[in-house]
Structure 1
C-alpha cells in the first residue's frame, strides 16, 4: 500500500490502542449530561445541535442557606390550603391578631416564612415580620430584615439587607428594597443581579430598578450597568433579559472577529420576539476595513405558510482591495449585499408553492465577507421557485431554476443553464398484486448566453413488480425512454464533442429536433439469511444478504444531443444498482451488465446495527460506449471493486471506510477512512482520509489518472478539566502540499460564563485542484480569522458564530 495510506491506518490503530482510549472504552454508556438533563449527540452525527445552558458547574446546593427542599412546589394549592403557624410565644387578645415571638414559622402550601418576631392577622392574612426574615415560595427565595405583606394576595414589601434567588433560572442578587407585586411579579430597587453562584458574582447587573415577571419570563432593568469582576463595561437605560429559556426580545451576545479581507469585526445582535409564530433578529456589524453593515433574519410560521428571510447590506464599501480577477469591477464605494429567502406555502390540499432565492450583489461578495472555508468555497448560488402538487399516485411541479456565479476566479460562463420554465410529472399506479405502472417525465427550456439553447421533453414510462418474502425479493422492471429536443435558432453555430482513446471528434449540431428512444430492462433480486452469533461475549444477529442486479440498455449514438444539465457521475457504491451513470436526461448509458454484491450485518439485541460490510462489482458484457464529451468509451470487463465497512461496536467509537479499486488499470479510484472516538462526556477525536482520482485524457488524448482530492483531516475537542477544553482541526491537501484549514482554540465554561477564543487559517479560492489556482497566484489565497465570544449564562439562549463554525468543522462538536 502507498505510505500515506499506511500512515492513515497506523494513526487510527494508535488512536484505538492508546491507554486513554482503552480506559474510556470500558465505560459502556457515556454520561448523559453533567446534570442529567442533556442527551449526548450520537456518534457519527454530521452536525450536532447546540447544548443548552446548564448550571451543573455551579456550587452544589447553591441556594440561600434557609432553602427548604421539602416544601411543596405547587402554588395552585394556596387558595384552599390551611395556614400553619409555629412560635415560641404567642399572644392574641381577640383570636384574630397574633403576636408571635421566637422562631416564628408560617407555612401555607408552597409559602414558608421565618422571622424572629411577627404579627399575623388570620382574617386578612396580613403579616409584619421582623428580624432575620426568610421567605420561600415555589420559585422564589427572599431574605430581609423586615417584610410586610399579605399571604392571600402574595404581596409584600421587604427592606433591609434584601437578598433574593429565583429557583427556576439560577438568578440571584441583593437589593435595598423588594416588592412582591403578586405571585408572578417582583420589583427590586438599587439592585444587583447575576446567574453566578451566590456571593461569587463573576458578572452582574447593577440597576436602580429591576422588575421580574414569571408570566412573560422576562426581567427588565432600568438605568443598568453590566460589570465583570467589578469592572463596568456596558450601560443601558433599559435592559431586557430572559428569566428562562423561552424566546424573548433582547440583545444577544457580542462577537469579535478579525479577517484579512474585512478587518476587525464587531457585532451585537438584537432579537425581537414579535409573536409566538414570528420573530426577527437585527445584527448591526462594523468592519474596520469596509464600514458598517446591517444584517438580519426574519422567521415566520403560519398555518399555511412558513419561511425565513436573511439579508446583509453594506451601503458603501470603504476598502479598495485588489480583486482576484483583474476584469472584476471595483467595489469601493459600491453597495454590497446578499439575501436568502426560503418560503413554503400551502395553496390548497395537495398543492404548495416552494421558493428558494439566494443572491449576492457581486461575484466577489462571499470571498470578501466570508469568514470560513465553507463560505469562501461556495462557487454557485442556487435559486428556484416551484409549484408542487401531489396525490395518492402522482406528483407534479412547475417552476424554474437559476444560478449565480460567486467564484471570483471564474468567468460567468461557468454558470449552469437556466431552466426556465421546467415542469415534471411523475406517477406510480399499483394495478395488480405486486405490479406497478408508472411514468417519470420532464419538460424544460434551457437558456445560457453564447451557448446552444432550446427545450427538451423526456418521457420514461415503466412497469415493475416487487415479489418478496421475509427472506427474498425479486424486482423486475421494464421501461422505455423517449427524449426529444427543439433547439433555438442559431444552433448550427455550436458543437458537441466525442472522445475516443486516441482522438476527439467535433460534431456540429445539424438537427433542430434530435430525438432518442430506447428500452431499459432490469432485474433486481436478493436473499436475506440470518443466524445468532456472539462476539467478545455479546450476542448478535448476523445477516448475509447476496444480491444480483441485471441491467440491459441498447446502445444509441447520442453525439447529436446537446449537454444541457447532464454530466458523468463519480462511481460510488450506489452506482452498482443505478440504471444510468449520468446525472441528467441528455445521456442514457448503454448496458448489458450484471452486478453481484453481498452485505453482512451484525445487529445487537436492541436492533442496533453494530457492523455492516458490503462488497460488489458490475460485470460488463458489452463496452460502455456512451460517455460525455471528454471521457472516452471503456472496454472493460468489469467495474471498480466496491468495498465498504462500518462499525460501532460500542457507544465510544465508530469507524467507516470505503474503497474503490479498478482491476483494469490497477489503480485506487476512491479511498476513505473515518474514525470517531468519544472522550469523556463532551470530548471527541476525529481522523479521516479521503482520496479520489478519476481516469481522464491529457491534451494529447492519452489516458491518465487525475486526482481531484487527497486530504487528511484531524479534529478534536479535548476536555482538560470540567471547565476547560481545547479545540483543534487540521485539514491538509496532499495534492497542493497546503494546509486547507487549521483551527485552534480554547473554551472555558464556568458556572455562569462561557468564553471561546478561536483562530482559523483557511484557503480562499480553493477547490482541491492545483490547476485551478487563481490568475496571478502561485498558491491558493489564504486568510486568517480570530474570533472571540463571551456568553453570560441565563441571559438568553444563543448559538453564536463561533459555535456554528465549530459544529460544521468538527464532527461531533457540541
Structure 2
C-alpha cells in the first residue's frame, strides 16, 4: 500500500470509499535471471502391438497429447535416446494456489515505480489527512501487488502500514497470509505474525511459519517454518526448520536446524540445508544414488554441483564402494568465446579388493591406483581453423569390467584418443594430428589394439568448375606404429572428376577417379608376411619383400535414376506414392595387393548402403576390383505434409568379374551377385512405427542379416518395443522392452535381451516408477553379462565365459529441489527405445 500525495476533500467517514493514489519513485525489483524370428514371433509381436488397448483416461485420442499440461512435446517415435523430461507439476491439484490468489493481477514488478495505488474499503477515517484508518473489506492494488485485510492503518508520510485480520498479500512471485502484518511500502519491509502461510509462485514452494519477515523486495525469513513443493495442505514431504531464509537474487533457500520428513516420518536432520527456489543453475548437493554390483559391492554416490560462473561449472561426486573403497569422480565444463570442452575423471587411490584373475591376461588390482579420464576440447584458432581434442585413458584394461555398471560400458573394448588441427573453406578441408587406442577388454591381449596413426594428415577438395562438373581430391598421409607388427607410412591420393546432371524426375551422375597408394615400410618389414586365399581355396603366405610397394588404378562409376509419382489411397487416406528405380555401375580393374600391409583396413559387413559404395573395404590398404551393376528400386508414401509414412527398397549388385581382392582370413569369390537387400519402414500414424531389413545370399542360400523392430506408443509416455537381430555366424538376439503406464502416476519398466546362440540372457531389467505432484521414485533391478564384448560367442581355450552381475538401483527425487538426471534414468534411456 503506497501513496504519493495527500488526498483532498475527504470527510471523516465515507461508505464505501475508493481511493486513487499516485505512487512515488522507487527502485523496481530486478527480474529473475535465467542462465544460460524367429519370424513367427516377430509377426505375433507386431499383431499384439497393433491391438494394444488404451492405458489410462484420455489415451483414446488418435494422437497423444503434447504433454500432461500442454507444455511438453513427447519424444518422437523411433528416437534412440530421448532427452530427460523436466520437472512439471501437472499431477498436482488444479488451481493449487492459496485460496486468495488473483490470476489476473499483473506479473510485472517493474511497473511499481510509476503505477498508481488503488484502495477500497467500507469505511475510512482520517482526522489529519496523514493517517488513514480503513475498515471493512480493505483492498489495495498497485501494479503486481495486492493486499487484503479486515482493518488497516496507513501513514501516507512514512508509508508505514498495519494490517490486521485475514491479511492476504500477493505479488508477482509469492503469496503470504497472516493474522497480522506490519510494514513499510517504500522499503518493501514486512513483519507477519499469526498463522503465517506462504507460497512461491515460480517454484511451487509453499509452507507455514509462526513468524515471517521481509527484509527487502527479494529477501525473506520465516521462523519455526515448514517448506515443501507438494500441494498446499497435502505435504508428502516437507522441511521443518527453526529458520528458513529465502533470497530471490540468488534463487536459494537456507534452512537452519532442519529436519526432512516424508509422510510425517522424519528421516534426515541437518543443521544447515541449502535448496533451490527456481530452476536456475545453482550450487548444491544433487540426489544421492545407491547401487549394488558383484564386482564393486554396495555403492553410494552423492554429487555436489558448483555453479562457478554462467560459462563454466563443476560437479564432484564422492563415491564409496564396499568392496573397493573410496573414489572421487567429477565433471568440469567450460564455454568461452573461442573454446569449449569437458573433463571427466574417476580416481580410486587404493583398490581394496583382492581380485581374482578374470582371464589369463588380467591381473590382481589390490593396492593399486585405478583411474579413468576423458578430456574433450574444441578451440577456434582463427577463421576456418580449430583444434579438436578427445583423450580417453584408463589405468588398466580391467577398469571398465570392474567399475562399469551397464552393458554399454562393459562392452567397450577400446578407448579412443585423438588430437587434430582442422581447417575448412568453401571448397576444401584439411586436418593434421593423430589418433591411438587403448585395449580395455580383459579377455584380450594388447595385440588387438589398432595401429597408432601418428602423425596423420588429410586434405580434401571439391571445386565446381562448370555448370554440372566438379573436380576434387581426397588424400591422406599416415605414419603407423604398433609393436610386433610391420610399421611404416602410407600416402593415398584419390583425384576425381564428377558431374551431376539432374531434373525434376531424373538424375545422371558420372564419376572418373584415379587412386594411387604408396608405402614406405620401416626396417624389419621382411620379418612379416601376409596371406591370400584363392578361388580354389588355396592359401598362400607371402612375406613382404618390397620396402616401397605401391598400387594405382582408375575407378569409374555411373549413377542414374528416375523418380515417378502418383496419388494413391490407403486406409482411407490419400498419399503421394513414388517409384524410384536406380542403376549404379562401378568399374575398377584388378590389382594384386598381397604385397601391401594392412594398417587400418578391414572388409566391411555387407549392408544396404554398400549397394552404391565404391569400395567394400574400410581404409586405404585395399581397393576392390569391380565390374558391377547395382539395380535397386524404392517406393515411398508421402502424406499431405510431405512426411514419409512408408518406404520400401529392394536391390542387388550383379558381378561380371570375380571378387579377387581380399584380406587375410577371407577368400576370393566368383559370385554372380551380392546379397539381395530388402528394407521396409513405416509410420502410418502417430501410435506405432516399424522397420525391417533382410539380406539373403543366393550363392550360399543363407540369410546373412535380418532385423525387425516395432514400437508402439502406449498413452502419453508409455512405449512397447520388440526387436530381432540376426547376423550370420555372429549373433541372434531378441529384445523386448516396455514402459507401461498403469495410471498417470505409476508405470512399470522392463527390458529383456536374449542371445539365441549362447542360450542365455544378455541383460534383464525390471522396475517400477512413481511420479506424484512433488516426488518421483524409481526401483530398478538389472541382471547383465560382464565381460561382454558386443557378441557372446564361444571363447577360445584358456578364457572363461562371460559372467553375470546383478545391480539393484533406487532413486528418490523431490521435485523442485534441483534438476538432476540420475544414473537410473540415464541407463533406462539407453536401454529402452523411446524411454523418457
TM-score after normalising by structure 2 = 0.94
Give the corresponding residue for 1:797.
819
Partner in structure 2 of residue 702 of structure 1: none
- Partner residue, 2:175: 141
Q: 2:722 aligns with which of 674, 679, 687?
A: 687
Match of 2:804 among 782, 798, 807: 782
> Residue 328 of structure 1 corresponds to which residue in structure 2?
362
Tell me, yes or no, if structure 1 residue 709 matches structure 2 residue 709.
Answer: no
> What does residue range 528-677 of structure 1 map to in structure 2 within 5 Å?
528-677=563-712
Tell me, yes or no, if structure 1 residue 435 matches structure 2 residue 469: yes
8 Å Cα contact 2:411/2:790 also seen in 1: no
Q: Shift in Å at residue 529 of structure 1?
A: 1.3
For the pair 1:90 / 2:124, whether they are aligned, the reply is yes
Aligned partner of 2:215 in structure 1 is 181
Distance 2:440 2:792 in 1: 20
Q: Deviations over 1:675-711 (max 9, x none)?
A: 0000001100000001011xxxxxxxxxxxxx21110
1:73-222 matches, cutoff 5 A:
73-222=107-256
Which residue number in structure 2 is paired with residue 304 of structure 1?
338
- Compared CA separation, residues 127 and 654, structure 1 to 2 (3 A): same
Name the counterpart of 1:497: 531
- For the 8 Å contact 1:765–1:774, the answer to whether it is kept is no
Q: 1:598 to 1:223 in 2, by over 3 A?
A: same
Deviation at residue 149 of structure 1 after TM alignment: 1.4
Closer, same or farther: CA 112–771 of 1 in aligned 2, 3 Å:
closer
Greater CA drift, 602-611 or 172-181: 172-181
Query: 2:788 is matched with which residue: 753, 762, 766?
Result: 766
Matched, 1:403 2:403: no
Give me the whole-angstrom Cα distance separating, in 1, the residues matched to 2:256 and 2:795: 56
Q: Quote the residue 2:34 is aligned against.
A: none
SS for the counterpart of 1:580 is coil
CA gap 1:777/1:566 in 2 versus in 1, 3 angstroms? closer
CA separation in 2, counterparts of 1:206 and 1:270?
23
The structure 1 residue matched to 2:552, chosen from 492, 506, 517, is: 517
Q: Following superposition of structure 1 onto structure 2, how do residues 199-598 of structure 1 map, counting pairs within 5 Å? A: 199-500=233-534, 501-598=536-633
- SS of 1:285's equivalent in the other structure is strand
Query: Shift of the alpha carbon at 1:285?
Result: 0.5
- CA 1:779–1:606 in structure 2 vs 1: closer, same or farther (change >3 Å)? same
Q: Tell me the equivalent position of 2:12.
A: none
Take 1:483 and 1:804, find their aligned partners in 2: how far apart are those partners? 45
Give the 3-state SS of the residue equivalent to 1:118 in structure 2: strand
Q: Which runs of 5+ in 2 are unaligned?
A: 1-36
How far apart, in 1, do the equivalents of 2:533 and 2:54 lie?
55
Moved more, 606-615 or 222-231: 222-231
Do the aligned residues in 1 keep the contact of 2:55 with 2:741 (CA within 8 Å)?
Answer: no
Summarize deviations over 1:174-233 as a string: whole Å, max 9, x none: 112212222222222222111011122121122233222223322222333322223333
For residue 24 of structure 1, report the CA deviation from its aligned partner.
Answer: 9.4
Deviation at 1:171, TM superposition (A): 0.1
- Relative to 1, partners in 2 of residues 1:459 and 1:22: Cα closer, same or farther, differing over 3 Å? farther
Does the 8 Å CA contact 1:291/1:314 hold for their aligned counterparts?
yes
Partner of 2:67: 33
**C-alpha separation between the residues in 1 aligned to 2:528 and 2:58?**
64
Shift of 1:326: 3.4
**Alpha-carbon distance, 1:270 to partner:** 0.4
Secondary structure at the residue paired with 2:706? strand
Alpha-carbon shift at residue 28 of structure 1 (Å): 2.7
Residues 219-228 or 596-605, more deviating? 219-228
Q: Secondary structure at the match of 1:614?
A: strand
1: CA distance between counterparts of 2:168 and 2:622? Answer: 81
Work out the CA distance in 2 between the residues paired with 1:189 and 1:90.
Answer: 34
| d(CA) in 2 for partners of 1:762, 1:93 | 83
Is residue 56 from structure 1 mapped to residue 90 from structure 2 by the alignment?
Answer: yes
> Number of paired residues?
799
1:645 match: secondary structure: strand
Task: Give the distance between the partners of 1:682 and 1:327, measured in 2 at CA.
Answer: 46
1:744 maps to which residue?
A: 766
| Partner of residue 756, structure 2 | 734
SS in 2 for 1:574: helix
1:723 aligns with 2:745: yes
Equivalents in 1 of 2:406, 2:672: separation in Å?
45
Whole-angstrom CA distance in 1 between matches of 2:722 and 2:642? 27
Alpha-carbon deviation of 1:22?
14
CA contact (8 A) 1:758 1:786 kept: yes
Partner secondary structure for residue 618 of structure 2: coil
Structure-2 separation of matches of 1:103 and 1:577 = 81
Deviation at 1:777, TM superposition (A): 6.2
- Per the TM alignment, residue 125 of structure 1 is displaced from its structure 2 partner at its CA by 2.8
Single out whichever of 314-323 and 149-158 deviates more from structure 2: 149-158
1:224-248: CA deviation from partner (whole Å, max 9, x where unpaired): 3322223333333332222121111
Conserved 8 A contact 1:752-1:793:
yes
Relative to structure 1, the CA distance from residue 642 to residue 509 in structure 2 (aligned partners, 3 Å threshold; closer, same or farther) is same
Cα drift, residue 579 of structure 1: 0.1
Distance 1:125 1:110 in 2: 18
Q: Tell me by how many angstroms 1:130 deviates.
A: 1.1
Residues 768 and 377 of structure 1, relative CA distance in 2, 3 Å threshold? closer
Q: Secondary structure at the match of 1:660?
A: strand
Aligned counterparts of 2:653 and 2:798: Cα–Cα separation in 1? 45
Q: Counterparts of 1:546 and 1:45 in 2: how far apart (Å)?
A: 29
1:668 deviates by 0.7
Query: Aligned equivalents of 1:248 and 1:192: distance in 2?
Result: 22
460-469 vs 84-93, which deviates more? 84-93
Instruction: Provide the C-alpha distance between the structure 2 equivalents of 1:555 and 1:802, rounded to a whole number of angstroms.
Output: 54
- Structure 1 732/571 Cα, relative in aligned 2: closer, same or farther at 3 Å? same
Say whether the 8 Å CA contact 1:766–1:773 is kept in structure 2: no
Q: Is the 8 A contact 2:412 2:789 kept in 1?
A: no
How far the C-alpha of 1:383 sits from its partner, in A, is: 0.4
Structure 1 length as normaliser, TM-score? 0.96
Q: Distance in 2 between matches of 1:339 and 1:80?
A: 56
Structure 2 counterpart SS, 1:83: strand
RMSD: 1.6
TM-superposed deviation, 1:160:
1.6
Residue aligned with 2:408, SS: helix
CA distance 1:19–1:174, shift in 2 (3 Å)? closer
In 1: Cα distance, 2:470 partner to 2:765 partner: 53
Partners of 2:435 and 2:381 lie apart in 1 by: 21
**Counterparts of 1:350 and 1:202 in 2: how far apart (Å)?**
56
The partner residue of 2:50 within 16, 20, 25 is 16
